[in-house]
Amino acid sequence: MAKSIMILGTGSDVGKSIVATAICRIIKRRGYKVAPFKAQNMSNNSFVTLEGGEIGRAQVVQAEAAGLIPSVHMNPILLKPAGDNNSQVIVLGEPLGHFEAKEYYKNREEYFKAVRDSFETLRNEFDLIVIEGAGSPAEINLKHMDIVNMRVAREFQSPVLLVGDIDRGGVFAWLKGTLDLLDADDRERVKGVIINRFRGDVSLLEPGLKMFEEMTSVPVLGVLPYDLDLHIDEEDGIQRDKIGQSKSGSIKIGIVRLPRISNFTDFDTLFFEEDMQTRYILRPEEMKELDLIILPGTKNVMDDMQFLWEKGFADQVLQRDPDRTAVLGICGGFQMMGTRIRDPHHVESKRDESKGLGCFRMETVLELQKTKRQVELNTLPSANLPFSEPVKGYEIHMGKTELNEPVQHFLPDPNGPTGIISKSGDMLGTYVHGILDNDSFRLHLLNHLRRRKGIPESDRVLNYREFRDRQFNRLSELVAGNLDLKILDRIIFS
């Protein structure tokens, strides 16, 4: 029967996911079988498992750090926000529908059964379960409805580590305030705190650490430095240094920052390739002089299509120089490249239909049944993408797309258009998330852009799998070198 350790935070985006990932890799490197777990995740950044279930990417990253194939049991409940007070509810990988918050919480006991069953499944297979919480455990207005934080710790008798982000300021007040708002028995479960994202001379912080321990009787396990050169997938938000900024490079790539963007990790490889100048763009005028415009996935393709028209992004795409600037759409971005998107069942929006960009003569109808599958397809060589190799990835979409014109398919699929390219090579669209993680495909796509720009092609491309593995090892070494591992072992294994 597995031990467990729970990672909670003083708030969202303080580093819970990264600490959980680090502990997964640290324990794996010692030879233990370790698995990640998050009872309820709220994110539009998702993944499809081998069994065809949808889970949050944070647990996928943690599973990769632990050397595991992701499973729906690692994230039994996923909430995908579609509006300010509306989310698609996914339980054990399957979508149940869209619900407002009050309606969702009415059924929380039913959902918690799935949490309990998934945890028990993992506990029988592993030595350690690293549990990640959500947001803050001290939201006093939501405490009675909690199914992801302290209730999980109580249910599975898990000790808790509390993470605070010093880069935001006020970390001691944040940590102590969190402890003070917890019920007495929950506070007893907190066995240590970790201070994350510290810059500067840690000796200047040490008096505060001692005072905090005296005030709370909770040990500080360590202070983690802010390492800007460490690259691990973000869970819910795009890294701030990727917006509006980029390194120098001959090829200029811009990713449109849609309001409801999903699966933004699809493009992480482009930020690490040599000679690429990649950034997220917030204004249509930033699209000028780009070699590639990327339209990403979205949780609400109807409303984000309207956003493109209203804010001028659509006009900029249509008025671009096709000999200079190519367009790539992925999933929802692919659907936007058609002539029309219809939502007769109001799956994602109150709109009945939206006018597309018309890059391809095709129409998409959003359906009640969701497509969720991993794919491995051989590319069909063409004049623009002259190679034939397997491409792996996954599909997650509600829409069914039909073509009304002959096009070149670079990913042949009898189920419908999965990857297409215009004859001139300036427009590409695909339903496959993770397609840019395929080194060979990425190399041929970038060389296609180089040919269009009239600059020499390259035979060098980032080995993304090796790159990720090095990052996981770097993370584990960074965290292990700055935590008191003796105390951590005592907390976990005592």
CATH of the domain at 424: 3.40.50.880
Tally the C-alpha atoms within 13 A of residue 187's C-alpha that lie toward its C-beta: 13
CA 232 to each of CA 17, 28, 216, 474, 492: distance values in angstroms, whole numbers, following the listed order: 10, 17, 32, 10, 24
The whole-number average pLDDT for the span 98-121 is: 95
Whether 471 maps to a domain, the answer reads no
Give the separation between CA 356 and CA 334, rounded to whole angstroms.
10
CA torsion sign, 215 to 217 to 218 to 220? Answer: positive
Question: Encoding tokens for residue 437?
Answer: 């993680």
The whole-number average pLDDT for the span 116-131 is: 97
The predicted structure's pLDDT at residue 237: 57
pLDDT band at residue 349, thresholds of 50, 70 and 90?
Answer: confident
Give the separation between CA 147 and CA 134, rounded to whole angstroms.
10
Residue type, 494: S
Q: For residues 150 and 216, state if they share a domain.
A: yes
**Does residue 354 have a pLDDT over 50?**
yes
**Average per-residue pLDDT in the chain?**
94
* Ordered alpha helix ranges (H), 15-144: 16-29, 57-65, 101-106, 108-123
The whole-number average pLDDT for the span 145-167 is: 97
Asked which of 197, 231, 265 is the last residue of a domain, the reply is 231
Residue 69: give its domain's CATH number. Answer: 3.40.50.300
Per annotation, catalytic residue among 331, 359, 444, 448:
331
Asked which of 189, 207, 231 is the last residue of a domain, the reply is 231
Q: How many Cβ atoms from other residues are within 10 Å of residue 385's Cβ?
A: 21
Q: For residues 45 and 162, state if they share a domain.
A: yes
Q: For residues 199 and 104, state if they share a domain.
A: yes
Percentage, residues of the chain above pLDDT 70 = 97
Query: Which residues, listed in sequence order, are joined to residue 88 by a DSSP beta bridge?
Result: 80, 98
Percentage, residues of the chain above pLDDT 90 = 90
CA torsion sign, 235 to 237 to 239 to 245? Answer: positive
The predicted structure's pLDDT at residue 350: 87
Query: Which residues, listed in sequence order, are joined to residue 427 by a DSSP beta bridge?
Result: 327
Q: For residues 225 and 253, state if they share a domain.
A: no
pLDDT band at residue 92, thresholds of 50, 70 and 90?
Answer: very high
pLDDT band at residue 352, thresholds of 50, 70 and 90?
Answer: very high
Give the separation between CA 54 and CA 32, rounded to whole angstroms.
27
Read off the pLDDT of residues 405-448 as tens digits, 9 standing for 90 and up: 999 999 998 888 999 999 999 999 999 999 999 999 999 999 99
The predicted structure's pLDDT at residue 248: 76
* Residue 433 among the catalytic residues: yes
The predicted structure's pLDDT at residue 229: 86
* Residue 24 among the catalytic residues: no
* Ordered alpha helix ranges (H), 98-205: 101-106, 108-123, 150-155, 171-181, 184-189
Q: For residues 150 and 287, state if they share a domain.
A: no
Q: For residues 151 and 258, state if they share a domain.
A: no
Q: For residues 321 and 180, state if they share a domain.
A: no
pLDDT band at residue 240, thresholds of 50, 70 and 90?
Answer: very low
Q: How many Cβ atoms from other residues are within 10 Å of residue 263's Cβ?
A: 23
Tally the C-alpha atoms within 13 A of residue 322's C-alpha that lie toward its C-beta: 9
**Does residue 166 have a pLDDT over 90?**
yes
**Does residue 365 have a pLDDT over 50?**
yes
**Does residue 86 have a pLDDT over 90?**
no
Q: For residues 107 and 182, state if they share a domain.
A: yes
Q: For residues 272 and 224, state if they share a domain.
A: no
Read off the pLDDT of residues 175-221 as tens digits, 9 standing for 90 and up: 999 999 999 999 999 999 999 999 999 999 999 999 999 999 999 99
Residue 39 near residue 78 (C-beta atoms within 8 A): no
The whole-number average pLDDT for the span 462-482 is: 97
Residue type, 288: K
* Ordered alpha helix ranges (H), 409-463: 439-453
**Does residue 235 have a pLDDT over 80?**
no
**Does residue 265 have a pLDDT over 80?**
yes
Q: For residues 245 and 394, state if they share a domain.
A: yes
Asked which of 177, 200, 231 is the last residue of a domain, the reply is 231
**Does residue 492 have a pLDDT over 60?**
yes
pLDDT band at residue 247, thresholds of 50, 70 and 90?
Answer: low
Give the separation between CA 143 and CA 397, rounded to whole angstroms.
33
Whether 490 maps to a domain, the answer reads no
Residue 134 near residue 17 (C-beta atoms within 8 A): no
**Does residue 227 have a pLDDT over 70?**
yes
Whether 487 maps to a domain, the answer reads no
The whole-number average pLDDT for the span 272-282 is: 94
The predicted structure's pLDDT at residue 348: 86
The whole-number average pLDDT for the span 480-490 is: 97
| Domain count across the chain | 2
The whole-number average pLDDT for the span 345-372 is: 94
Place of tokens 């529908």: 97
The predicted structure's pLDDT at residue 83: 72
Whether 474 maps to a domain, the answer reads no
Whether 111 maps to a domain, the answer reads yes
Task: Give 133's contacts (C-beta < 8 A, 6+ positions apart).
Answer: 6, 7, 8, 9, 16, 38, 148, 149, 152
pLDDT band at residue 281, thresholds of 50, 70 and 90?
Answer: very high
Whether 295 maps to a domain, the answer reads yes
Q: For residue 120, what are the domain limits?
A: 3-231
The predicted structure's pLDDT at residue 244: 47
Q: Which residues of 409-443 are buried (b: 16+ CB within 10 A; e: fewer)?
A: bbbeeeeebbbbbbeebbbbbbbbbbbbbbbebbb
**Model pTM score:** 0.93
**Does residue 245 have a pLDDT over 60?**
no
Q: For residues 248 and 167, state if they share a domain.
A: no
Whether 482 maps to a domain, the answer reads no
Query: In terms of C-beta density within 10 A (0-12 exposed, 13-18 middle, 19 or more buried), how is residue 343 classed?
Result: buried
Whether 43 maps to a domain, the answer reads yes
The predicted structure's pLDDT at residue 383: 86
Per annotation, catalytic residue among 397, 433, 444, 448:
433
Question: Encoding tokens for residue 461?
Answer: 């491309």
The predicted structure's pLDDT at residue 234: 66
Q: For residues 211 and 300, state if they share a domain.
A: no
Which of the 8 DSSP states describes residue 433? B
